[in-house]
Amino acid sequence: MFLLKALKRDNYRCVVTGSYDGATFQKRRKTDPTFKVDSTQFTQAAHIFPDSLNQNLTWSDDLPGKKAEYSATAWAVVQRFGKVSVITESLNGPDIHRVENVLTMCLSAHELFDKLELWFEATNVPNTYNMCSNDEGNFELVNPPVLRQVTLSSTSDLIPLPNSHYLRIHAACAKVAHLSGAAEYLETILDEWEERPVLASDGGSADMLSFLLARIPRSNGSPTRRRTAETT
C-alpha cells in the first residue's frame, strides 16, 4: 500500500531521475500500445529511515555494512539530539512505511541512497533539494543521470510529501559517515554541545549541526555536490 501511495504521489516517476516507473509503463502499454515516455526505470520504495531503525535501533548482523552503519549513525544522531520521538512516535511499527518516510527511486539510486552515497541537501526553496554524493563518480552509476536539483511534489493533497526533517537527518548521517575518523570524533564533538542538546523543531539548529560536522577532519574524498541546475 505504501509503495503504491508513494508511487502515485511521485507521479509514477523516480524522484531523482524523473524516469517513469517501468512496471507502470508495462501496465499502461497493455491497454494503450501507443503510450510513450522519455525514459523508464524500474523503481522501488526507498525508505529515508530504514526498517532497521524500527527494530529498537540496534545493530543487526543481517544488515549490509553501509545500511548498518547508517542505522547506527542515525540512531546516535537522533538520540543525542533529543529526537528519539521522531522514531518511537511517528515511525513506530508499521508506520516506518508511512509515505512521509518513503520516496520512489530507481534501483541504482536507491542503492546509493541506502549506502549514504546519495543524499538530499535542502535549499532555501521549500521542498527543493540539491542532490549530493561523497563521490562525483557515483552520479555516473545512474542512467538516466540523477538530476542536479529536484523539487518534491505530490499529485494529491491527500498524500503528504517526504518529511523534510527526515531528509535532513539522512543528509547529516551521510556527511558524518564520509568524514575521516567520524566514529571516534562524533561522540567527542557532540559532548561539547551540552548547552544545546535538542534540535529546534523548525530546523533552526541546522547551522549548528553543520558547524559541528564541519569540525570533524575530512578525508581526501570529502562530500561533493553537483552544480545546481534547474530541474527538467
pLDDT tens for 177-224 read: 776 555 444 455 455 544 444 544 555 444 445 544 444 444 333 444
> How confident is the model at residue 61, as a pLDDT?
46
* CA–CA dist 179, 57 (Å, integer): 22
For residue range 92-144, list pLDDT tens digits in order. 677 888 999 999 999 999 999 988 899 999 999 999 999 999 899 999 999 99
Q: 116: left (phi > 0), else alpha (psi -120 to 50), else beta?
A: left
pTM of whole model > 0.75? no
Q: What are phi and psi of 205, to 5 degrees?
A: -90, 5
> How confident is the model at residue 109, as a pLDDT?
96
> How confident is the model at residue 75, as a pLDDT?
59
Q: Are 67 and 59 in contact (CB under 8 A)?
A: no
**7 has pLDDT over 50:** yes
> How confident is the model at residue 77, as a pLDDT?
60
Span of 2-11, 63-72, 107-116, 199-208 with lowest mean pLDDT: 199-208
> How confident is the model at residue 65, as a pLDDT?
52
**For residues 55 and 123, which has the higher predicted lDDT (pLDDT)?**
123
> How confident is the model at residue 28, as a pLDDT?
97
Which stretches does DSSP call E strand in the chain? 20-21, 40-41, 43-47, 102-106, 119-122, 128-133, 149-151, 224-225
State the DSSP code for 67. H
> How confident is the model at residue 70, as a pLDDT?
57
- Number of other residues whose CB lies within 10 A of the CB of residue 230: 8
Average predicted confidence (pLDDT) for the chain:
75
- What confidence category does residue 82 fall into, taking pLDDT thresholds of 50, 70 and 90? very low
> How confident is the model at residue 81, as a pLDDT?
52
